[in-house]
């Protein structure tokens, strides 16, 4: 249930939501995307349960759980045992198609690095368009190299992808608090991110860098990471100075201000149409 929360934290999706002029534009996407992910994953889980309990005509299990190194192996075993090679080929095409979204994540992270970090630190005047392109490309190369090195420890890039879902899910409490909790502070946000990264790294290392499935108190890593992230955010925010009133008013406008803003957007659209 926690893992689908990672969808909203994917860099390329998160960046798209930031481009909306009206919060209502992407509200259905933000709400429905995790729900649809759960609907898609539920049959996958049921498929694994069926495979581990059903028997073949000769009385043997379709998939013997004791023979699997990981629960994620069940789909490959089913395909090899019950379907012709054509189905295996189609499945492979689907997997490769899904991983092609990685390029969107690389480009989004590169854009965030150049626009939100470098430009903010050095200023608009000191970094021109050419410098941004060069730095952005260098960032893409750095991310790809880092992902490749980590995948060597994790055994495969797909194993690393599963762990990335857990890490992204750990950012959900921060985004939720930033949208709905007026008491959240910048120090709490930074502490939450650092705690999330530390918890992820500890659990990843404890699982032999992703080569074995490691549960903490019977829970998947995503549940533990979200708890650490949320607890750190709340505790540090309450222990530090609250945001200034003008900051709260900027990000939490009153209902009248929201109505005025909606009216201005509508007026602008009518003028443009005219």
- Angle between helix 186-206 and 157-169 (nearest 10): 150
Of 156, 161, 109, nearest to 136 (Cα)? 109
Residue 260 has pLDDT above 70, yes or no: no
Query: What per-residue confidence (pLDDT) applies to 31?
Result: 76
List pLDDT tens digits, range 100-145. 667 778 888 888 888 888 888 888 788 888 888 888 899 999 988 8
Q: What's the rounded mean pLDDT across residues 243-257? A: 79
Q: Is residue 25 part of a domain?
A: no
Question: Does a structural domain hold residue 121?
Answer: yes
Q: Residue 58 falls within a domain, yes or no?
A: no
Per the structure, the count of domains in the chain is 1
Mean pLDDT over residues 54-71, rounded?
76
**Residue 75 belongs to some domain of the structure:** no
Does residue 106 fall inside a structural domain?
Answer: yes
Structural domain of residue 119, as residue ranges? 101-154
> Model confidence at 274, in pLDDT bands (50, 70, 90)?
very low
95 occurs within a structural domain: no
Q: Which two tokens stand for residue 156?
A: 């495969």
Alpha helices in 85-185 (DSSP H): 85-99, 102-112, 119-122, 129-154, 157-169, 172-180
On the question of pLDDT at 29 being above 80, the answer is: no
| Domain contains 258 | no
Maximum pairwise Cα distance, the chain: 75
Predicted confidence band of residue 259 (pLDDT cuts 50, 70, 90) = low
Q: Is 135 exposed, middle or buried (0-12, 13-18, 19+ CB in 10 A)?
A: middle
Residue 15 is assigned to a structural domain of this protein: no
């Amino acid at each position: 249930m926690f893992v689908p929360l990672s969808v909203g934290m994917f860099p390329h999706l998160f960046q798209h939501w930031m481009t909306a002029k009206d919060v209502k534009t992407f509200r259905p996407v933000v709400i429905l995307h995790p729900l649809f992910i759960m609907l898609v994953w539920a049959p996958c889980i049921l498929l694994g349960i069926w495979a581990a309990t059903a028997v073949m005509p000769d009385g043997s299990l379709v998939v013997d759980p004791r023979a699997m190194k990981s629960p994620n192996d069940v789909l490959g075993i089913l395909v090899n045992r019950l379907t012709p090679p054509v189905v295996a080929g189609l499945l492979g095409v689907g997997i490769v198609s899904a991983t092609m979204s990685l390029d969107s994540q690389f480009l989004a992270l590169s854009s965030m690095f150049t626009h939100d970090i470098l430009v903010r630190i050095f200023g608009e005047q000191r970094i021109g368009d050419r410098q941004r392109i060069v730095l952005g490309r260098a960032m893409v190369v750095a991310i790809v190299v880092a992902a490749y090195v980590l995948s060597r420890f994790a055994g495969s890039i797909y194993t690393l992808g599963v762990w990335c879902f857990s890490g992204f899910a750990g950012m959900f409490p921060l985004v939720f608090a930033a949208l709905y909790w007026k008491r959240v502070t910048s120090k709490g946000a930074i502490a939450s991110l650092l705690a999330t990264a530390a918890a992820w790294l500890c659990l990843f290392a404890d699982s032999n860098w992703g080569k074995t499935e490691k549960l903490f108190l019977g829970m998947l890593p995503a549940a533990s990471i979200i708890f650490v992230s949320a607890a750190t955010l709340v505790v540090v925010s309450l222990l530090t100075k609250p945001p200034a009133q003008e900051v709260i008013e900027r990000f939490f406008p009153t209902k009248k201000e929201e109505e005025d803003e909606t009216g201005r957007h509508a007026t602008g659209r009518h003028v443009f149409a005219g």
